[in-house]
């Protein structure tokens, strides 16, 4: 729970927006930024009723209600929506209206889902070294951190770890919440952000530098984890 607490606290400190984390059944896990008025608005809107439970491609959804009341719903995990949701809001997009609701221009709403997911990714990577994993999982994560720029073959890694591949994949997913390939690609994407921000390298050079074989595969992975292409991300941080 501390992990999710840290994510929403960091998000609130960055954006000054109330956010609540709920499990898949919409039981509250933790929240920050709510006073009695905002809590009542949240309860009255019943946002959970509007979330499509049969969606397999949910990255984020924006909901607008009467009197300029807006919420943003983001899965806690990029890869498994059944882990629950971050529900950001209420937010108003006009400066008039309820004085207790935080104001943000409508043009900003699309960015908040990326911000909270990037905070989650950062906290996840930062916390990895402090978590107690199965010895094989711990060695695999260490190997990724040290060799992500190189070709990493799961079959060869399991042979080096002297562990059955099927067992390893099951344990890795259980303990990290990620498949091995998603964990590896997400780590590579996060490393590439520094190159996009601080260098003039081409997208192909960046892709190769962080371990992707092709620019196209890199772009697909980047879009999957950030909801932006590498070029759009680079342009957004240079504005």
pLDDT digits (tens, 9 = 90+) for 123-149: 766 655 555 668 898 899 889 999 999
* Cβ atoms of 191 and 225 closer than 8 Å: no
CB count, 10 Å around CB of 40? 12
pTM equals: 0.61
Residues 6+ apart with CB under 8 A from 17: 11, 33, 88, 89, 91, 102, 104, 112
Nearest to 186 by CA among 141, 130, 129: 141
Q: How far apart are the two ends of the chain, measured CA to CA in Å?
A: 36
* Cβ atoms of 136 and 170 closer than 8 Å: no
pLDDT for the residue 237: 73
Give the model confidence (pLDDT) of 34-86 as tens digits.
Answer: 999 999 999 999 888 887 765 544 567 888 998 899 999 988 876 555 578 99
**Whole-number percent of the chain with pLDDT over 90:** 51
Give the model confidence (pLDDT) of 153-178 as tens digits.
Answer: 999 999 999 999 999 999 998 887 78
Distance, CA of 94 to CA of 106 (rounded, Å): 8
């Amino acid at each position: 729970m501390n992990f999710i607490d840290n994510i929403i606290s960091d998000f609130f400190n960055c954006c000054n927006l109330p956010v609540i984390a709920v499990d898949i059944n919409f039981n509250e896990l933790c929240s920050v930024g709510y006073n009695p008025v905002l809590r009542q608005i949240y309860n009255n809107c019943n946002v959970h009723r509007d979330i499509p439970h049969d969606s397999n491609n949910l990255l984020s959804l924006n909901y607008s209600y009467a009197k300029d009341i807006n919420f943003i719903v983001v899965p806690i995990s990029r890869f498994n929506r059944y882990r629950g949701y971050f529900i950001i809001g209420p937010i108003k997009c006009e400066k008039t209206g309820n004085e207790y609701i935080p104001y943000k221009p409508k043009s900003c709403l699309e960015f908040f889902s990326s911000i909270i997911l990037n905070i989650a990714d950062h906290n996840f990577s930062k916390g990895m070294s402090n978590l107690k994993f199965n010895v094989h999982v711990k060695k695999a994560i260490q190997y990724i951190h040290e060799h992500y720029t190189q070709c990493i073959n799961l079959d060869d890694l399991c042979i080096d770890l002297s562990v059955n591949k099927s067992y390893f994949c099951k344990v890795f997913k259980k303990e990290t919440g990620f498949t091995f390939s998603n964990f590896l690609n997400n780590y590579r994407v996060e490393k590439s952000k520094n190159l996009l921000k601080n260098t003039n390298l081409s997208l192909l050079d960046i892709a190769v530098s962080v371990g992707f074989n092709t620019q196209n595969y890199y772009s697909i992975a980047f879009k999957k984890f950030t909801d932006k292409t590498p070029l759009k991300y680079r342009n957004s941080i240079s504005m």
